[in-house]
Homo-oligomer: A and B are copies of this chain.
Amino acid sequence: MGETGGPRARGRPRSERARAAVLDAATGLLVSGGVQAVTMEAIAARARVSKSTVYKWWPTRGHVMLDSLAHAAGDALAAPAGDGSLAGDLAAEVGALVRAFRDTAAGPLVADIVAAAQADPDVRAALDERWVRPRRAACARLLDDAVARGVLRPDTDVPAAVDQLFAPVYHRLLFGHAALADGLAPTLVRQLLDGLGAGRGRPDEDR
C-alpha cells in the first residue's frame, strides 16, 4: 500500500531536494567532523534548510542517520551474489558487509546509529528492523536450508551461528581492536563451518 499512483495529495508536495540535502548533509558532517559535528542545527545549516523542516520529518538525530544510511549505502549491499556453494554465499554476505563498513560511509553511520540506539529504544528498534534483520534473515535462510539438506548438523543453533558470522564485523567496527581485512569474511566462514578442531580432515568441497 501507499500513495503510489493514487490521487496526488492535496497541499504542497514535500520537497525531495530538502530531503536529500538533509541526508547528504548528515553524512557529510559525520565523515568530515565526526559524531560531535552532527547536530540538528549543523545539519539544517549545511543542508540550507530550516531547522523546523528537519524536525518536521525526523524526530531525532538518530532517525536522520538511519535514513542517511539507507540513502548512502542502500545499493552497495543489494545483491551480494555468491558462487552458489554454502561457504561462498555466506562469505559473499559477510564480505559485502566488511567492504561497506570499510569503504563507504556506512561504517561511521552504523557506528553512530548503534551509539544513538543505546539512548533511544526507538532508534534501536528501527536499526534492527531496517538494517540488521534483513541481512540476518538472508544468512539464516542459507543456514536453515543447509540444515534441512543435511549439510549442517541438525542441532545447529542458527541465530547463534549468524552471530558468529556477523558479530565479529560489527565488533571490529565499534571497538576498532582489529582491522576489517579482506580475508576476514572467508576466514569467519571457514572456521565456523569446518570448526577449529584438528585431526579430522577437511570434507573437501562437498558443500
Interface residues of A, Cβ cutoff 8 Å to B: 34-36, 111-112, 114-119, 124, 127-128, 132-133, 136, 143, 146, 150-154, 156-157, 159-161, 163-164, 166-168, 170-172, 174-178, 184, 187-188, 191-200, 203, 207
B167 and A187: CB pair below 8 A?
no
Min CB distance A150 to B, Å, is: 6
B194 and A197: CB pair below 8 A?
yes
B119 and A35: CB pair below 8 A?
yes
A160 and B174: CB pair below 8 A?
no
A166: B residues at CB distance < 8 A: 171
B114 and A118: CB pair below 8 A?
yes
Min CB distance A85 to B, Å, is: 13
Classify the interface of chain A: helix, strand, loop or mixed: helix
Min CB distance A91 to B, Å, is: 13
A34: B residues at CB distance < 8 A: 119
- In the complex this chain forms, how many copies of it are found? 2
- A111-B118, A127-B175, A199-B203 given; name 10 further pairs at CB < 8 Å: A132-B175, A151-B198, A152-B197, A154-B198, A160-B188, A163-B172, A164-B167, A170-B171, A193-B195, A194-B197
B174 and A118: CB pair below 8 A?
yes
Bound Cα distance from A195 to B133, whole angstroms: 24
Q: Which listed residue (B119, B176, B207) contacts A115, Cβ 8 A?
A: B119
B198 and A152: CB pair below 8 A?
yes
B203 and A197: CB pair below 8 A?
yes
- What are 9 A-B contacts defined by CB distance under 8 Å? A112-B118, A114-B115, A114-B118, A115-B119, A117-B174, A143-B196, A157-B187, A170-B174, A195-B195
A177 and B115: CB pair below 8 A?
no
